[in-house]
Amino acid sequence: MRNDQAANGKSAAGPGIRLANFQAQDLPAVHAFAADPVVCQYSTWGPNQLADTQEFLADALVEQPHRALQAVMLGDVLIGSASVWVTDRKAKAGEIGYTLNRGYWGNGYATETAGLLLRLGFEVLGLERISATCDARNAASIRVLEKTGFKLKGRRVEDPESSTGRAETLLFNIGRA
Ligand SMILES: CC(C)(COP(=O)(O)OP(=O)(O)OC[C@H]1O[C@@H](n2cnc3c(N)ncnc32)[C@H](O)[C@@H]1OP(=O)(O)O)[C@@H](O)C(=O)NCCC(=O)NCCS
């Protein structure tokens, strides 16, 4: 049984999914989505080689006070990763990110994940503002952010010749209610 009730207080549960601590045995489940080129098509990382995922998981297993980097769990199945981290301690500002295995898209799980990340960011990390960035082509993530209450605050032009092919990044944020 996964140690959801760990003392770090960074677990959170919704009606469908929950955010729990990663475990060393999660490598195959994490690599299943992190190595998927469709999952990574709009990301600034991946598709991962196994060594990349091993490095990610080794980092995720280390508890750090400035972040919650959690596994997205559907029952006992790991379906993604989710993170909220402090970007500016003085300003109490942070950022979120999330990735789900393609087999579980379209069920509202990312929207639920983003809502839980906001709860952890505001209530556990003590943030006042949380931002999110995404590729302007990433319609599903834009919709997730809108549904979670984020507002579009700006756009950043990117070099389309970069490895990701990203031409524009959208910048969203939300304040503590
Ligand atoms: C983005 C991602 C997390 C969405 O996960 P998900 O569980 O399918 O999201 P949800 O089901 O909560 O919501 C998706 C919404 O986007 C909509 N959507 C999906 N594809 C879309 C498209 N091509 N155009 C417009 N809307 C789209 C869905 O209809 C849904 O909105 P609705 O509830 O109003 O119908 C998932 O696709 C993913 O992991 N992508 C790869 C990683 C990534 O891009 N992470 C975000 C980086 S900013």
- Secondary structure letter of residue 168 according to DSSP: E
The pLDDT of residue 3: 62
Ligand 1, atom nearest to 80 Cα: 39
Give CA separation, 99 vs 27, 136, 138, 157, 170, in Å: 15, 16, 12, 23, 17
- Which residue's CA is the closest to the ligand 1 atom numbered 32? 143
The pLDDT of residue 162: 78
Q: Which amino acid is at 3?
A: N
Dihedrals phi, psi of 74, to nearest 5 degrees: -110, 100
Give CA separation, 25 vs 38, 57, 71, 74, in Å: 24, 10, 12, 16
The pLDDT of residue 160: 78
Q: How far is CA 60 from the centre of its chain?
A: 12
- Which residue's CA is the closest to the ligand 1 atom numbered 33? 108
Q: Which amino acid is at 122?
A: F
Q: Which amino acid is at 119?
A: R
Does the beta carbon of 33 lie inside 6 Å of ligand 1?
A: no
Ligand 1 centre from 93 Cα, in Å? 25
Q: State which residues of the chain have pLDDT below 50.
A: 7
CA pair distance 121, 20, nearest whole angstrom: 15
Ligand 1, atom nearest to 100 Cα: 39
The class of domain 12-131 in CATH terms is alpha beta
- Secondary structure letter of residue 33 according to DSSP: H
Ligand 1 centre from 16 Cα, in Å? 16
Ligand 1 centre from 90 Cα, in Å? 32
The pLDDT of residue 97: 98
The pLDDT of residue 164: 77
The pLDDT of residue 8: 72
pTM recorded for the entire structure: 0.96
Q: How many other C-beta atoms lie within 10 A of the C-beta of residue 66?
A: 11
